[in-house]
């Protein structure tokens, strides 16, 4: 079954797309990534989205317009992927959409809202669409996040089976990590901001050529301000035990302005970005160290920031730090691959959440289905249980199957 996975993360800069062909062979599942891309949002749409995000207070009119506009943007990205695929047509689409609010009270998620009306995607592609994938986990008492552990636990299983404690780190707008350890259920949580605050301060300065710190150039040219870093590290969220989740409802531009004011500093943009980059490196390294992770496999936009990646590695001596590219999953679109995987699971009646990671009362099949324009629904037989092994092959044929990866770990050589 081919699934087109789509997501725009908390960096809200565009849409990641991946077409994955999944095939079951006994107890093993093989995924071959046939297409992947990142499609930037139109600048006007991104500006509207930023204005509506916390601490903004959009009305129903703005929410309705955004739901339609984001849905149309996802529809265009999906149609472009289908055109690039040619004859290899997907069977369904799984769209995460764009998170605009994650409702947290007393440290627990009470609701979550993703926009991007799936009917536009169905109309543009002629395919059924699975969407709204977080709500079932929240309704079951979970955080609704992270959901990528469904992919992470299978990618990291060979490490765990070889007695290695491994972590999968995502450096999107928010950093999150899945930890798989021998003899234990996987755990996962949102650590804190990765790129969210950096992107916010860069975007807010008129005349900056990008909406992010391209290649870490700003951070590299700035100096960390210790008093401001200390103020940022005092955030109570970091001390909350997992499972926990967060987003732009906490970590937004106003949050930075308030921290700067309390610190009594007046940083220029390079120093501010250097300090926020160090904040990410410190919070991530502390979480990794506290979890006793030996191998850290990173993905997300942050892996393209050499300053961020170098500082994380420097703060984690003795930890092997690599990216998911080494395991066959392009780090830029790992989450799109994960949501393709969730779509495949839903089509086969399999739960897509990991309760030990989200805190849900139990496994839940995720999402709601929008039929194709002709009324067709995903055509897949129900599976009684999850496959026990996963192999991923990247677009150029690179990838590490479960059996090969396990052998290499036993030999003491990290891929």
Q: List, for residues 28-69, the tens digit of each pLDDT value.
A: 899 999 999 999 999 999 999 988 888 888 899 999 999 999
CATH classification of 2-146+330-410, choosing from 3.30.420.40, 3.30.200.100, 3.10.530.10, 3.20.20.30? 3.30.420.40
Are 246 and 174 within 8 A, CB to CB? yes
| Centroid of chain to Cα 317 | 25
The pLDDT value recorded for residue 87 is: 65
Smallest Cα–Cα separation from 13: which of 40, 34, 37? 40
Averaged pLDDT, 176-196? 96
Report for 173-177, 328-332, 399-403: range of highest mean pLDDT: 173-177
Q: How many CA atoms lie within 13 A of 65 on its CB side?
A: 12
The pLDDT value recorded for residue 396 is: 55
- In the structure, what pLDDT confidence band is assigned to residue 415 with cuts at 50, 70 and 90? very low
Q: List, for residues 104-138, the tens digit of each pLDDT value.
A: 888 889 999 999 999 999 999 999 999 999 999 99
Per CATH, 2-146+330-410 and 149-325 having the same topology is answered yes
Of the candidate ranges 66-75, 238-247, 254-263, 286-295, the one whose mean pLDDT is the lowest: 238-247
Average pLDDT, the chain: 91
The pLDDT value recorded for residue 395 is: 65
Averaged pLDDT, 146-154? 93
The residue ranking higher by pLDDT, 243 or 410, is 243
Of the candidate ranges 118-127, 194-203, 220-229, 404-413, the one whose mean pLDDT is the lowest: 404-413
Smallest Cα–Cα separation from 287: which of 336, 259, 246, 337? 246
The pLDDT value recorded for residue 259 is: 98
Averaged pLDDT, 255-264? 98
Q: List, for residues 333-392, the tens digit of each pLDDT value.
A: 999 999 999 999 999 999 999 999 999 999 999 999 999 999 999 988 889 888 888 888
The pLDDT value recorded for residue 2 is: 96
Averaged pLDDT, 248-272? 96
Q: What pTM does this model have?
A: 0.90
Tell me how crowded residue 163 is: count the other CB atoms within 10 A of its CB: 12
The pLDDT value recorded for residue 10 is: 79
Q: Inform me whether the pLDDT recorded for 150 exceeds 60.
A: yes
The pLDDT value recorded for residue 44 is: 94
Averaged pLDDT, 291-313? 97
Q: Inform me whether the pLDDT recorded for 215 exceeds 70.
A: yes
Domain ranges of the chain: 2-146+330-410, 149-325
Smallest Cα–Cα separation from 189: which of 359, 311, 365, 363? 359
The pLDDT value recorded for residue 408 is: 37
The pLDDT value recorded for residue 77 is: 97
The pLDDT value recorded for residue 154 is: 86
- In the structure, what pLDDT confidence band is assigned to residue 9 with cuts at 50, 70 and 90? confident
At what angle are helices 60-85 and 43-52 packed, to 10 degrees? Answer: 140
The pLDDT value recorded for residue 207 is: 86
Are 80 and 39 within 8 A, CB to CB? yes
Using H for helix, E for strand and C for coil, what is the string for the chain? Answer: CEEEEEEECCCCCEEEEEEEEEEEECCEEEEEEEEEEEEECCHHHHHHHHHHCCCCCCCHHHHHHHHHHHHHHHHHHHHHHHHHHCCCCCCEEEEEEEEEEEEEECCEEEEEEEECCHHHHHHHHCCCEEECCCHHHHHCCCCCCCCCHHHHHHHHHHHHHCCCCEEEEEECCEEEEEEECCCCCCEEEEEEECCHHHHHHHHHCCCCCCCCCHHHHHHHHCCCCHHHHHHHHCCHHHHCCCCCCCCCCCCCHHHHHHHHHHHCCCCCHHHHHHHHHHHHHHHHHHHHHHCCCCEEEEECHHHHCHHHHHHHHHCCCCCEEEEHHHHCCCHHHHHHHHHHHHHHHHHCCCCCCCHHHHCCCCCCCCCEEECCCCCCCCCCCCCCCCCCEEEEECCCCCCCCHHHHHHHHHCCCCC
Fold type of domain 149-325: Nucleotidyltransferase; domain 5 (3.30.420)
The pLDDT value recorded for residue 388 is: 82
């Amino acid at each position: 079954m081919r699934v087109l996975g789509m997501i725009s993360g908390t960096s809200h800069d565009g849409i990641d797309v991946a077409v994955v062909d999944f095939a079951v062979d006994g107890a093993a599942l093989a995924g071959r990534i046939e297409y992947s891309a990142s499609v930037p949002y139109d600048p006007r749409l991104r500006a509207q989205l930023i204005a509506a995000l916390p601490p903004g207070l959009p009305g129903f009119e703005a929410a309705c317009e955004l739901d339609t506009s984001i849905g149309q943007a996802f529809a265009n990205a999906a149609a472009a992927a289908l055109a690039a695929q040619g004859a290899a047509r997907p069977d369904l689409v799984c769209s995460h959409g764009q998170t605009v609010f994650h409702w947290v009270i007393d440290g627990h998620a009470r609701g979550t809202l993703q926009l991007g009306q799936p009917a536009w995607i169905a109309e543009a592609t002629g395919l059924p669409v699975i969407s709204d994938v977080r709500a079932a986990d929240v309704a079951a008492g979970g955080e609704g996040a992270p959901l990528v552990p469904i992919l992470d636990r299978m990618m990291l299983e060979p490490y765990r089976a070889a007695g290695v404690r491994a972590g999968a780190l995502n450096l999107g707008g928010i950093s999150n990590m899945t930890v798989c350890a021998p003899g234990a259920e996987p755990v996962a949580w949102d650590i804190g901001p990765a790129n969210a605050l950096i992107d916010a301060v860069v975007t807010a300065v008129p005349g900056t050529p990008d909406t992010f710190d391209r290649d870490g150039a700003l951070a590299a040219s700035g100096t960390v301000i210790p008093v401001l870093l200390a103020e940022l590290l005092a955030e109570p969220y970091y001390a909350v035990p997992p499972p926990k989740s967060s987003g732009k409802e906490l970590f937004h531009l106003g949050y930075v302005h308030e921290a700067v004011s309390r610190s009594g500093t007046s940083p220029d943009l390079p120093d501010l970005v250097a300090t926020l980059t160090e904040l990410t490196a410190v919070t991530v390294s502390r979480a990794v160290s506290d979890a006793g992770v030996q191998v850290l496999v990173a993905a997300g936009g942050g892996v393209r920031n050499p300053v961020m990646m170098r500082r994380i590695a420097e703060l984690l001596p003795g930890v092997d730090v690599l990216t998911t590219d080494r395991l066959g999953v392009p780090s830029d679109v790992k989450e799109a691959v994960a949501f393709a995987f969730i779509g495949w699971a839903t089509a086969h009646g399999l739960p897509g959440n990991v309760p030990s990671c989200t805190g849900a009362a139990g496994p839940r099949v995720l999402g709601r289905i929008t039929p194709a324009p002709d009324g067709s629904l995903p055509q897949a037989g129900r599976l009684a249980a999850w496959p026990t092994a996963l192999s991923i092959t990247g677009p150029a044929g690179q990838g590490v199957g479960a059996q090969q990866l396990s052998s290499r770990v036993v030999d003491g050589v990290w891929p």
